[in-house]
């Protein structure tokens, strides 16, 4: 594979005793859309700020576009566009002026910046609002303008922090499509942080799940789902027409399926747990042995399940700790 | 979408250009803001009013043969008053802090609260560029305003009276303008410091106004209160001791920037002022009541000017220090 465009090694940030980011190792490759997933306060923004050299890491290094972000932030910022989670604009300036200002800060001349800014406003669909003051902009419009601003510096990497926060579902769809399209058109590497699973699932090539300052797992969504299946197995639920009389005639056969784990038979339904997907084989087996199958369902591991599995574990342990701490404090 | 390719002529040399962009944006924002326009109006009105009053009494002032400064028409225009309203430089003693505070109290925290600071910091500019721009832009605007006002005054005076302006007068008036800008700069850097320190613009504005009120109203009272218990009855001490006490009180008062400004402007605008402290009769004996040269006046206010500059530098350096180390996130 190509050299990573973002390379984080042992990146750590502590605030006093609290470790916001704990030994983060991550490689992101040119042209991919990477989703950094995690609940609020997981350290996503802190990691992003360290990649931009806006926060000094306690330990470890962040290399972005070949530059050390801590030592040489200006070179990094020249090549990276960043959309912060609470993006704001100068309310008394128009969208075009705001955009031109940023373009000029990136070294474009005035006339060129103006032309570029107009193009960008077309790209993000704000050409109607070009001369409106941004003070009157809605959240979605601000996000679009923010995206225009990220793109106007023709970056190699776009880092978007919670880009879909506070936009309505339709807006989210359009926004994500736009990101996806632009990424493909310009071979732009996108790092997207979010806690919205479904949205990220649709556009990201690869995701990393980030909880409590640690990257728990990373890979493509299929890969993660596959891993989860390896761990949890696949559950196939089959419902039959008649109550199961003599189960023994197919039980043995089902148990002989490859990767078999567990079989539960209750009334009309059979629940089969296996390592890999054997739904088709199981149904054929049942039909051959004379059972009337009326419904088959297989649970697929989606990002939701992945997310819940990882998050719930951490959340329950966290809250349990907090509660017991509080309890003890009160009675000490 | 057009994919604009950036040619070399579209990119100018970087750091200086970024600074220029920041400063011009700041200037534009100030000029367009209501706040600044109201302040300008206030200053122009005060200037007009004090100029009107002084031009009314101008004839008496320049024909007053007992006044060694009577030949300086344009200085008289700035300082003469019939006591109905104070002269412009005394007005400015109150207005300049207001100007500095108003232009700086939300310099950084408004950016922070708007969410523009993170965005700005993600651009390829140095962090201190922003701070310099926040400091420089209001000074450029205020400097332009003051220079325009005094030039208007000189031009008006030339047209109205037809009297030639002495080079010395021009130097003194420009010196006065410079010191006024410096005085505004001090309050501006203090306001910027507070705007970095406090997250809420209202808090920083109130704190700045508090400091201003403290120095203009309470500080002299406090010095008075602090000194009085130690001060012996003037009737029982020698003249030497009396002078020493007087000097002590004056020096304490000079801890206040407004005192420094008053000292400096008075000396520059009134060429006959020879000392800022008490002078003994012996020292005055034989002195011809004549105006000092510009150089001598300027040497006399040099400590005041350096004091103001130092105070401004300290505020700026402090704000620089805390801003560079501040975590940028909302």
Long-range contacts of B298-307, Cβ-Cβ distance < 8 Å, separation of 24 or more: B298/B175, B298/B268, B300/B267, B300/B273, B300/B274, B300/B275, B300/B276, B301/B179, B301/B263, B301/B264, B301/B267, B301/B268, B304/B254, B304/B260, B304/B261, B304/B263, B304/B264, B304/B267, B305/B179, B305/B182, B305/B264, B307/B254, B307/B257, B307/B260
Residues A195 and A328 in one domain: no
Sign of CA dihedral B103, B108, B114, B118: positive
Bridge partners, A193 (sequence order): A36, A161
Kindly state whether residue B7 falls inside one of the protein's structural domains.
no
Residues A38, A51, single domain; the answer is yes
Residue A288's pLDDT is 81
List the 132-151 stretch of A: residues with Cβ below 8 A of B: 146, 149
CA-CA distance, B41 to B254, in Å (whole number)? 30
Contact: B22, A105; criterion CB under 8 Å? yes
Residue B1 in any domain: the answer is no
Look over chain B and give the mean of its residue pLDDT values, rounded to a whole number.
86
> Helix (H, G, I), strand (E, B), or coil: what is residue A81?
strand
Quick one: pLDDT at residue A329?
Answer: 44
Is A224 part of a structural domain of the chain?
A: no
- Contact assignment for B125 to A104 by CB distance below 8 Å: no
Residue B306 has pLDDT above 90, yes or no: yes
Contact yes or no for A107 and B25 at CB 8 A: no
Assess if residue B312 is contained within a domain.
yes
E strands present in chain B = none
Most A CBs within 10 Å: which of B29, B32, B106, B122, as the mutation test of the A interface?
B122
From chain A, the residues in CB contact with B114 under 8 A are 88-91
Question: Please, are residues A115 and B143 in contact by the beta-carbon 8 Å criterion?
Answer: no
CB contact under 8 A, B124 and A77: yes
Residue found under tokens 């005639």: A249
pLDDT at position B244 is 83
Is A225 among the domain residues?
no
Looking at residue A297, its pLDDT comes to: 80
Query: Residue B181: what pLDDT?
Result: 95
Give the residue from chain A lying closest to B32, CA to CA.
A92
Residue A115 resides in a domain: yes
The count of structural domains within chain B is 1
Do A199 and A271 sit in the same domain of this protein? no
Give the domain-ending residue among A150, A185, A219. A219
**How far is residue A122's CA from residue A120's CA, in Å, rounded to a whole number?**
5
Distance from CA of A76 to the nearest CA of B (A): 8
Would the CB atoms of A88 and B116 count as touching at under 8 Å? Answer: yes
The residue of chain A with its CA nearest to that of B2 is A119
Instruction: Give contacts of A 43-82 with B, CB under 8 A.
Output: 45-46, 49, 52, 54-55, 74-75, 77-78, 80-82
Residue A181 shares a structural domain with residue A270: no
Residue B325: CB atoms within 10 Å: 9
Residue B5 lies inside a defined structural domain of this protein: no
Neighboring chain A residues of B116 at a CB cutoff of 8 Å? 88-90
Of B2, B11, B124, the CB nearest to A119: B2
Pair A70, A185 in one domain: yes
Q: A277 to each of A219, A237, A302, A304, B241, how far by Cα in Å? A: 21, 12, 15, 19, 103
Least confident of A211-225, B272-286, B289-303: B272-286
A75, closest residue in chain B (CA to CA)? B124
**Does residue A172 share a domain with residue A42?**
yes
Task: Residue B29: list chain A partners with CB under 8 A.
Answer: 90, 92-93
Looking at the fold, whether A175 and A73 belong to one and the same domain comes out as yes
Q: What whole-number distance in Å separates Cα of residue A2 and Cα of residue A8?
A: 16
Dihedral pair phi/psi, residue A289, rounded to 5°:
-90, 15
- How far does B86 lie from chain A, in Å, by closest CA? 37
Which H or E run includes A49? helix A44-51
Under 8 Å CB pairs connecting chains A and B tally to 98
Give the gap in angstroms from C-alpha B23 to the nearest C-alpha of chain A: 11
pTM confidence score: 0.83
Give the CATH number of the domain where residue A262 resides.
3.30.70.2470
- Report ipTM for this prediction: 0.82
Q: Is residue B4 part of a domain?
A: no
Q: What pLDDT was estimated at residue A103? A: 92
Tell me if A186 is assigned to some domain.
Answer: yes
A198 with A57, same domain? yes
Alpha carbon separation from A234 to A227, A229, A254, A312, B80 (Å, rounded): 11, 6, 14, 20, 96
Q: B21 in a domain, yes or no?
A: yes
What pLDDT is attached to residue A85? 85
Q: Does A88 touch chain B (CB under 8 A)?
A: yes
Q: What is the pLDDT of residues B128-163, one digit of tens each?
A: 899 999 999 999 999 999 999 999 989 988 888 888
Evaluate whether residue B30 is within a structural domain. yes
**Is B199 within 8 Å of B153 (Cβ atoms)?**
no
- The answer to whether the CB atoms of B4 and A119 lie below 8 A apart is yes
Dihedral angle sign, alpha carbons of residues B201, B206, B211, B217: positive
Report pLDDT for B330.
56
Structure-token pair, residue B216 = 């203009």
- Cβ distance of B21 and A112 shorter than 8 Å: no
Closest CA to A287 of A267, A312, A270, A309: A270
Q: What are the start-end ranges of the H helices in B162-287?
A: 167-197, 201-213, 219-227, 239-253, 257-269, 281-284
Question: In angstroms, rounded to a whole number, what is the distance separating the alpha carbons of residues A22 and A289?
Answer: 55
pLDDT digits (tens, 9 = 90+) for B224-245: 888 888 877 777 888 788 888 8
Query: Which of A175, A194, A219 represents a domain boundary (last residue)?
Result: A219
Contact B329 A52 (CB under 8 A): no
Residue B315 pLDDT level (bands cut at 50, 70, 90): very high
Q: Is B8 a domain residue?
A: no
Contact criterion met (CB < 8 Å) for B114 and A88 = yes
Which of B3, B116, B330 is closest, CB to CB, to A90?
A: B116
- Decide the pairing of beta strands A59-64 and A67-68: antiparallel
Closest Cβ–Cβ partner in B116, B120, B327 for A55: B327
Tell me, yes or no, whether A64 lies in a domain. yes
Identify the pLDDT of residue A1: 56
Domain that holds residue B318: 14-283+291-325
Residue-range definition of the domain harbouring residue A249: 233-298
CB contact under 8 A, A84 and B119: yes
Could B4 and A116 be called an inter-chain contact, meaning their C-beta atoms sit closer than 8 Å? Answer: yes
Task: Tell me, yes or no, whether A165 and A90 share the same domain.
Answer: yes
Q: Averaged in consecutive runs of 10 residues, what is the pLDDT profile of chain A (332 residues)?
A: 85 88 90 87 88 89 91 90 89 92 90 91 89 90 90 91 83 86 89 82 85 84 76 78 68 78 79 79 81 78 67 54 44 42
How far does A97 lie from chain B, in Å, by closest CA?
A: 10
Q: Are A28 and A5 in contact (CB under 8 A)?
A: yes
Instruction: Please tell me which residue of chain A has the smallest CA distance to B4.
Output: A116
Domain count of the fold of chain A: 3
Contact yes or no for A122 and B1 at CB 8 A: yes
State residue A330's pLDDT score: 45
Taking CB atoms and an 8 Å limit, are B1 and A119 in contact across chains? yes
Judge: B119–A101 Cβ closer than 8 Å, yes or no: no
């Amino acid at each position: 594979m190509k050299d990573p465009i973002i390379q984080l090694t042992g990146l750590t940030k502590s605030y006093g005793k609290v470790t916001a980011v704990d030994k983060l190792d991550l490689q992101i490759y040119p042209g991919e859309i990477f989703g950094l997933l995690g609940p609020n306060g997981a350290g996503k923004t802190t990691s992003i700020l360290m990649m931009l050299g806006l926060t000094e890491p306690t330990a470890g290094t962040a290399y972005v576009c070949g530059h050390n972000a801590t030592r040489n932030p200006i070179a990094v910022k020249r090549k990276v566009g960043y959309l912060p989670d609470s993006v704001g604009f100068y309310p008394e300036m128009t969208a075009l002026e705001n955009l031109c200002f940023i373009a000029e800060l990136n070294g474009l001349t005035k006339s060129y910046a103006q032309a570029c800014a107009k193009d960008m406003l077309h790209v993000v669909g704000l050409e109607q609002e070009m001369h409106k003051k941004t003070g009157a902009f809605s959240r979605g419009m601000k996000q679009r303008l923010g995206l225009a601003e990220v793109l106007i510096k023709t970056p190699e990497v776009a880092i978007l922090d919670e880009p879909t926060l506070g936009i309505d579902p339709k807006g989210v769809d359009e926004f994500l499509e736009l990101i996806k399209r632009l990424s493909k058109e310009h071979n732009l590497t996108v790092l997207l942080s979010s806690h919205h699973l479904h949205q990220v699932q649709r556009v990201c090539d690869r995701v990393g799940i980030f909880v409590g300052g640690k990257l728990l797992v990373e890979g493509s969504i299929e890969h993660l789902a596959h891993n989860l299946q390896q761990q949890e197995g696949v559950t196939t639920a089959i419902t039959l027409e008649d109550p199961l009389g003599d189960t023994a005639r197919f039980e043995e056969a089902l148990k002989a399926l490859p990767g078999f784990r567990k079989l539960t038979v209750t009334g009309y339904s059979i629940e089969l747990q296996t390592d890999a997907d054997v739904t088709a084989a199981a149904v054929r087996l049942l039909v051959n042995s004379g059972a009337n199958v009326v419904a088959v369902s297989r649970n697929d591991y989606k990002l939701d399940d992945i997310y819940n599995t990882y998050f719930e574990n951490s959340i329950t342990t966290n809250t349990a700790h907090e509660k017991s701490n509080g309890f003890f404090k009160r009675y000490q | 979408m057009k994919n604009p390719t950036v040619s070399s002529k579209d990119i100018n040399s970087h750091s200086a250009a970024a600074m220029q962009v920041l400063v011009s944006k700041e200037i534009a924002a100030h000029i367009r803001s209501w706040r600044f326009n109201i302040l300008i109006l206030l200053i122009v009105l005060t200037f007009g009013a004090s100029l009107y009053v002084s031009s009314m009494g101008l004839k008496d002032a320049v024909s007053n043969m007992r006044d060694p400064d009577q030949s300086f028409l344009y200085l008289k225009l700035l300082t003469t008053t019939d006591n109905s309203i104070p002269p412009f430089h005394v007005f400015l003693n109150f207005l300049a802090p207001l100007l500095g505070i108003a232009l700086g109290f939300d310099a950084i925290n408004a950016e922070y609260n708007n969410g523009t600071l993170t965005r700005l910091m993600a651009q390829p500019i140095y962090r201190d560029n922003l701070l310099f721009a926040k400091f420089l832009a209001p000074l450029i605007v205020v400097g332009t305003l003051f220079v325009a006002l005094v030039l208007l005054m000189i031009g008006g005076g030339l047209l109205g009276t037809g009297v030639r302006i002495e080079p010395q007068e021009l130097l003194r008036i420009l010196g006065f303008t410079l010191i006024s800008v410096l005085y505004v700069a001090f309050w501006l850097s203090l306001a910027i410091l507070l705007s970095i320190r406090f997250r809420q613009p209202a808090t920083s504005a109130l704190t700045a106004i508090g400091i201003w009120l403290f120095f203009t109203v309470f500080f002299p009272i406090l010095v008075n209160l602090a000194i009085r218990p130690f001060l012996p009855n003037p009737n029982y001490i020698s003249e030497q001791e009396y002078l020493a006490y007087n000097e002590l009180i004056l020096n304490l008062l000079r801890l206040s920037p407004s005192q420094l400004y008053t000292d400096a402007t008075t000396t520059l605008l009134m060429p006959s002022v020879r000392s800022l402290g008490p002078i003994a009769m012996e020292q005055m004996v034989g002195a011809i009541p004549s105006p000092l040269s510009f150089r001598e006046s300027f040497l006399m206010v040099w400590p005041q000017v350096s004091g103001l500059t130092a105070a401004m530098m300290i505020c700026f350096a402090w704000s620089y220090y805390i801003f560079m180390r501040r975590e940028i996130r909302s």
